[in-house]
Amino acid sequence: MLLYRGFNIGLLRNDTGQVLKYGGFYDDKFSGEATAYLPYTQNDTLALPAKLRVTYTGAFPIYTDTLNSFDFKGLIAFNGKTVRAAEQSKWYPVIYDVKNDRELLEVTYDIEVTCKDCQTIYINGSAPQAGPSGKFHSTIPRQLLLFAGNYVVQALPNSTFLNADLSADEAAVFNENIGSIINFYRFYLQVPYGEKITFMQHRSVEPFGPKRSWGFVTFPTIAVAGKPFKSEIDTQKRLFKNIYSYYFYSHELGHYYYGQSAPANSTLKWFFLESMAEFLSIKAAENKYGKEATQKYIAERKPLMKDWKVKPLSQISSPNQIGDGYRYTYAPMILLAMEKNFGSKTVQRFCRNILQNAGQRTDYPFLVKMVKSAGVNDKDWKAFEATVMEQTECNKIFDHLP
């Protein structure tokens, strides 16, 4: 079982109420943001009981006037107005499948939340409720996100906004642009977009400049900190004020497919999660703004990558060898190079095939398998590997881009 390292365990009990012995409290082992606790009997790990009752408490800093040096999805964030805790933070006990090396993050739930001074309480996948307490239920497995505090809810036919303060016209324009992205994805991938999105605006506990923002997705919620939603909308042109907002929301919406429908794992986890979503965002923006948008996207990244060196995807042995620059900038260029070399229809089939083969290990052999199933023959792929995939100097990729 994984639980956020800031919590203090009181008791573990099984389904009969018996107090269990467990390892992890002393000489604990960290897994990302969490501590791993292992119930055991004598010297052996205990088989998972039908019910596991966990009692825990914790105290966390409240960031108001003085802010933290960082904020990220794995932080349980209190800012004096709201509390934000996503599934990555392990604010609830997460079962860890040791044998298959995976976290069982998606769960059905029946949860009662009490927050005495909260105006609104929201659990991902359920409708927000008025505080100070609410009961939340889902028969659809969800990753759990908690957002509670003093904020208002705006429920519209196609989406819900939390803490956004949008006018009716601003909300309509926002919805129109999000709808254009979703419609393109339905066409491009030939897979329905099966979620009504909740857009959550939260105040970060990290200081931000006026032009900086960050966000994350826990479907069906897209959370954004920094720039308010309303600052991004041009109600006259009925567009986002700049194309970068379109890229951002296209990327986050793309995680419904690469992340939700097709979970990423194994050595190329970050390629199949973040690089695929970023490539989708490039194609969505191209569909909306034209091929000039893609050319501008490439040109803006060329000076950033001129001195970068990388390990080829075929040599990646650990997910963390694919850092931020690799996953968000360089690897999407590989996909654009594939498109130029093999054709847009072939790469479109490649993207669809990944979704149709969800659940497999997302390593390099899987990537090659998906490429060849899209219609690329062995000779052509080996030539592409030699000229693009096996290169270590990133600037060479630009010789193979449109």
Give yes or no for a contact between 33 and 74, defined as CB atoms under 8 angstroms apart. yes
Residues 27-57 as b or e (16 or more Cβ within 10 Å = b): eeeeeebbbbbbbeeeeeebeeeeebbbebe
pLDDT at residue 43 tops 80: no
Query: Tokens 């006259």 — which residue?
Result: 236
What's the pLDDT tens digit per position in 217-244? 898 999 998 888 998 999 999 999 999 9
Give yes or no for a contact between 390 and 292, defined as CB atoms under 8 angstroms apart. no
Spell out the domain ranges in the chain: 1-59, 258-402
Q: Which stretch of DSSP H or E encloses residue 163? A: none
pLDDT at 80: 92
pLDDT at 211: 66
The alpha-helical segments, DSSP class H, found in 108-207 are 168-189
pLDDT at residue 213 tops 80: no
What's the pLDDT tens digit per position in 278-313? 999 999 999 999 999 999 999 999 999 999 999 999
Q: Any idea of the CA torsion for 126, 132, 135, 140, to the nearest 10 degrees?
A: 20
Tokens of 369: 């398998």
Give yes or no for a contact between 254 and 197, defined as CB atoms under 8 angstroms apart. no
pTM of the predicted structure, to 2 decimals: 0.81
Q: Which fold has domain 258-402?
A: Neutral Protease; domain 2 (1.10.390)
Give residue 207's pLDDT band: very low, low, confident or very high (50, 70, 90).
confident
pLDDT at 44: 65
User: What number of helices (H) and strands (E) belong to the chain?
Assistant: 10, 24
Q: Which stretch of DSSP H or E encloses residue 257? A: none
> What distance in Å separates the CA atoms of residue 128 and residue 232, rounded to the nearest whole number?
24
Nearest to 181 by CA among 240, 225, 229, 228: 240
Give the Cβ contact number of residue 399 at 10 Å.
Answer: 10
pLDDT at residue 99 tops 80: no
pLDDT at 209: 66
- Sign for the CA dihedral angle at 154, 160, 163, 168 comes to negative
What's the pLDDT tens digit per position in 119-144? 999 999 999 999 999 999 999 999 99
pLDDT at residue 163 tops 80: yes
Q: Which stretch of DSSP H or E encloses residue 124? A: none
What's the pLDDT tens digit per position in 178-188? 999 999 999 99
pLDDT at 27: 67
Chain centre distance of CA 211:
22
Give residue 46's pLDDT band: very low, low, confident or very high (50, 70, 90).
low
Instruction: Please give the residue that has the higher pLDDT: either 21 or 117.
Output: 117
Angle, CA 22 vertex, CA 110 and CA 56 arms, to 5°:
45
> What distance in Å separates the CA atoms of residue 203 and residue 214, rounded to the nearest whole number?
11
What's the pLDDT tens digit per position in 68-95? 888 899 999 999 999 999 999 999 999 8
Share of the chain above pLDDT 90, in %: 69
Amino acid making up residue 54: V
